[in-house]
Amino acid sequence: RAAGIERVDTGVPGFDEIVGGGLPRPSAILLAGNPGTGKTTLAGQIAYHRATRHGERFFYMTLSEPADQIRLHFRLLGMDLHELEERKLATFQELMPFTASTEYVRTALENMIARVESAKPDLLVVDSVSAMLQFLPPEQVRPLLSMIVRITHEVGMLTLLIAELPMLGPVRLSGVEEFIADGLIILRQEETREGLTTRINVVKLRLSKHSREHYGVAITDSGFIVLGPMRLE
């Protein structure tokens, strides 16, 4: 354990082994992937595990879909987020800014971030950075993300920032996210001889002896699982 850095076990089968024994806290980690690769499932599963097994509190900021959709998604995987909300272990903040002005979205996000700062949760999920970039120009998103990363380190949180990658072509982020994050984990979906497969790769993770291999991923009835290393064709 590095000075002041805690290793957080995630409860996700096979995951802690590839990140060097758990995710470092405090840190802001970008989970970037194609649609349908399980980014939300992975982030929510980690938050749920920390709340149910360790009594930790998490905040879930959603701009991608309504909080009720996310609750339903996890209920289908056997995770009752509503019960955690009753116990004050989970807090959802939802912003559906599809018709709102840029000014409104920026102010609403600043208020959300201020609520996180005063609540001082153990874990924060931001779903997603891509939605922020859809509604605000990069020069307005950058200070918001910087604020989140600053609070992450001041409060001592684990922050999971979700970002969408395009289905085709190389991994391209806006430059805003990976510049700011302490870690970058990429999920890719691709055609192989066996059909459509999903793989996970830890690109960078501050203060961690992590694996650089690509691993297969399965999303089962009970959630996200990291399988063995994959050969890249």
- Give pLDDT tens digits for 122-140: 999 999 999 998 899 989 9
Percentage above 70 pLDDT, the chain? 92
Q: What is the pLDDT of residues 27-65, one digit of tens each?
A: 999 999 999 999 999 999 999 999 999 999 999 999 989
Which one has a higher pLDDT value, 51 or 5?
A: 51
Q: Determine contact, residues 151/117, Cβ cutoff 8 Å.
A: yes
Q: Does the predicted TM-score (pTM) go above 0.75?
A: yes
If you write DSSP's letter for every residue of 26-71 in order, what string do you get? SEEEEEEE-TTSSHHHHHHHHHHHHHHHH---EEEEESSS-HHHHH
Q: What is the pLDDT of residues 51-100, one digit of tens each?
A: 999 999 999 999 989 999 999 999 999 999 999 999 999 999 999 877 78
Confidence grade of residue 177 (pLDDT, cut at 50, 70, 90): low
Domain 6-229, CATH 1.10.472.10 — does that match?
no
The domains of the chain are located at 6-229
Q: Determine contact, residues 164/130, Cβ cutoff 8 Å.
A: yes
* Dist. CA 10–CA 23, nearest whole Å: 7
The pLDDT score that the predictor gives to residue 190 is 83
Which one has a higher pLDDT value, 190 or 213?
A: 213
